[in-house]
Amino acid sequence: MAPVIDLHNISKSFTERNWKTFLFRKSYPVKALEDVSLTVNQGEIMGLLGPNGAGKTTLIKILATLITPDQGGGTISGFDICSQSHRVREKIGLVSTNDRTFYWRLTGRDNLSFFASLYNLWGTDKTQRIARVLGLTGMTDKADFRFMSYSAGQKQRLAIARAMLSEPEVLLLDEATASLDPIAARSLLDLTRNTLAAKEQKTILWCTHNLTEADEICDRLTILHHGRILQSGTPAEIHNCLGHRQSYRIVVDTLHPSLQSQQDYQLAFDKEHGAYACTLTINHARVPELLKSLAENGVGVYECSQIKRPLEAAFTELVTQRKGRPEAIT
């Protein structure tokens, strides 16, 4: 099956404009994206990560056909993003965090009615479609309240309901949980994972700075830096993408110098085993050698387990050490 989103070698540059360029009458090109290739399959949630200025919003705008790439191209649901942009718009739903795109004095239902008309929905079809998206997003009870009275979470849910009016195959969410409290953010994550992706089989591009939620909700992750893809793969692959040094927890009955010589060595007493619990950092290829050495020296090993590496650690190392060098996991 062909991917729903399929981008090849996308590049985009802008002309920098500020007081210096105006004063000295010189403009400088800024490369927002460089040779970006990306595929997302049906029902998959792809997380788009990167520091500020990485090119995430530019990529979202290209997918939404708001701007065109300078080089490269791609398709969404089989339609070309440049030459068939009108067909692409029929297949996508853009969830904007800007609540000024709604009419504050109108109710949620009236807002949806207005936007449904722009999708050429009328009569019974419009009424049924509005009722459906309100039910999907859990906004039925709040539908007849004015938009100005909504909480941040309710506004975001209505934005998703609006994006669902056209029954799109692809949802583009840019910083969807940025202004939400933990409870509202959790509710939105559950809605996205369990309803939009699992039940509705929507293909979702989830752009976020929150690495914890990306690790939890996304099937695959793509990390952008200086407009280029640093790494792409599953969260598990991203965790282990930076070489072979990992953290381990080893529980032993006797301390040995070979343990204390490892990096990031920490010691605690494990009451459950009545033994010593050591955490350390080591090349995973050397773990069997270390365990063999402990056994040969009469040390009893009760446990040896790898400690899952936080996504923040992998992300930080990628951004600070790779310096924009592209690499993809296949």
Q: Which domains does the chain have, with CATH numbers?
A: 5-239 (3.40.50.300), 245-308 (3.30.70.260)
Which ranges of 29-173 would DSSP assign to H, the alpha helix? Answer: 56-63, 85-89, 108-118, 123-136, 152-164
Decide: residue 119, CB within 10 A, 0-12 exposed, 13-18 middle, 19+ buried: middle
CA quadruple 56, 62, 65, 66: dihedral sign: positive
CA distance 169 to 297: 61
- Find the range with the poorest average confidence among 90-104, 136-150, 268-282: 268-282
What pLDDT, on the 0 to 100 scale, is given for residue 187?
86
In Å, what is the CA distance from 49 to each residue of 31, 211, 271, 291? 18, 8, 40, 37
Range among 108-117, 148-157, 247-256 rated most confident: 108-117
Residue 204: how many other CB atoms lie within 10 Å? 26
pLDDT over threshold 60, residue 243: no
- 């949802």: which residue's tokens? 171
CA distance 212 to 220: 14
Residue 330 pLDDT grade (very low, low, confident, very high; cuts 50, 70, 90): very low
